[in-house]
Amino acid sequence: MARIIGGVTTSHVPAIGGAIAKGLQQDPYWKPFFDGFGPVRHWLAETRPDTVVVVYNDHGLNFFLDKMPTFAVGAAAEYRNADEGWGIPQVPPFTGDTALSWHIIESLVDEEFDLTTCQEMAVDHAFTLPMALLWPDQIWPVKVVPVCINTVQAPLPSAKRVWKLGEALGRAVTSWPGDEKVLVLGTGGLSHQLDGERAGFINKDFDLKFMDSLTADPTWATQFDTHQLVEQTGTQGVELLMWLATRAALGAKARELHRNYHIPISNTASGLMLFEPA
């Protein structure tokens, strides 16, 4: 049977791609962020996952405001990205794990999640940059399954609903009869707001409480509704929903192996965590 060997949660702001392209990893502004990934890459080299389920949010490359599904799962043989207008270089295409994708889709539908199934799908910086942070040579040693959650246009799924999605995702993976080792990668956040009167808002105290909770009390954030999460984390900080889904997929208990927290990168509080199922 397939098994989930771990989960990684990390930020995905476009400026990361610019820093990679310009070779700024050791620049004083960026070094505390990039240095955080060393232990995660070491763990990946030891555990060697076969497939990565990437839980992320699309920013308009594949879905736009006229068509914004709550939950979408990719079932393509290949995924490419394109120019989003940020000036980020495109990365090599990703190979899809189509068999596992269809199993996940069917399992989630059986659990009464209404999905958009994508047999063609472009992936944006929320997908590509975290993958490039984990495998800097961009020679992808894994297949991928994209799972996209709407955090852009109201109404957003609640934290409780996203937690349930993550639990169902974990059940789907572990019921797959293959022998794949699966990594769940959740991207986004942490607290940040890019527009409006609170542009530049960061809530370090809430971020750290949230990170602590993912080990000690992983459903803690599900007590907050969407408006409360936006109040605490900013309009874009609600991307922590992808972290919740990732943590839920790991089961009731998980060990935290590594974390990094740094302020700011591009007006964003950046976080990184690595978990193994207990």
228 CB neighbour count, 10 Å cutoff:
12
* Residue 101 CB-density burial (10 A; 0-12 exposed, 13-18 middle, 19+ buried): buried
Distance CA 171, CA 159 (A): 19
Which pLDDT tens digit goes with each residue over 136-180?
999 999 999 999 999 999 999 999 999 999 999 999 999 999 999
Band the pLDDT of 191: cuts 50, 70, 90: very high
Distance CA 253, CA 216 (A): 9
- In the residue annotation, 192 being an active-site residue is answered as yes
Question: Rounded mean pLDDT of 257-270?
Answer: 94
Q: Which helix (H) or strand (E) holds 165?
A: helix 159-174
Distance CA 84, CA 255 (A): 36
- In the residue annotation, 125 being an active-site residue is answered as yes
Task: Output the CA–CA distances (angstroms, integers) from residue 249 to 50, 55, 84, 246, 258, in the order listed.
Answer: 17, 11, 30, 5, 18
Question: Rounded mean pLDDT of 4-8?
Answer: 98
Amino acid 85: pLDDT: 84
Using alpha carbons, select from 267, 269, 268, 249 the residue that is nearest to residue 259: 269
Amino acid 198: pLDDT: 82
Amino acid 201: pLDDT: 86
Comparing 182-186, 209-213, 258-262, 265-269, which segment has the lowest mean pLDDT?
Answer: 265-269
Which pLDDT tens digit goes with each residue over 47-88?
999 999 999 999 988 999 899 999 999 999 999 999 888 888
Exactly one of 12, 103, 125, 262 is catalytic; which is it?
125
**32-35 contacts: CB < 8 A, separation 24 or more?**
32/260, 32/262, 33/260, 33/262, 33/265, 33/270, 34/133, 35/260
Q: Is the pLDDT of residue 40 over 90?
A: yes
| Backbone φ, ψ for residue 264 (5° rounding) | -105, 170
Sequence spans of domains, the chain:
3-277
- Would strands 268-277 and 3-10 be described as parallel, antiparallel, or unpaired? antiparallel
Q: Is the pLDDT of residue 235 over 90?
A: no
Task: Output the CA–CA distances (angstroms, integers) from residue 105 to 51, 94, 116, 175, in the order listed.
Answer: 16, 19, 9, 12
CATH code: domain 3-277 is: 3.40.830.10
Exactly one of 12, 59, 103, 192 is catalytic; which is it?
192
Which pLDDT tens digit goes with each residue over 89-99?
899 999 999 99
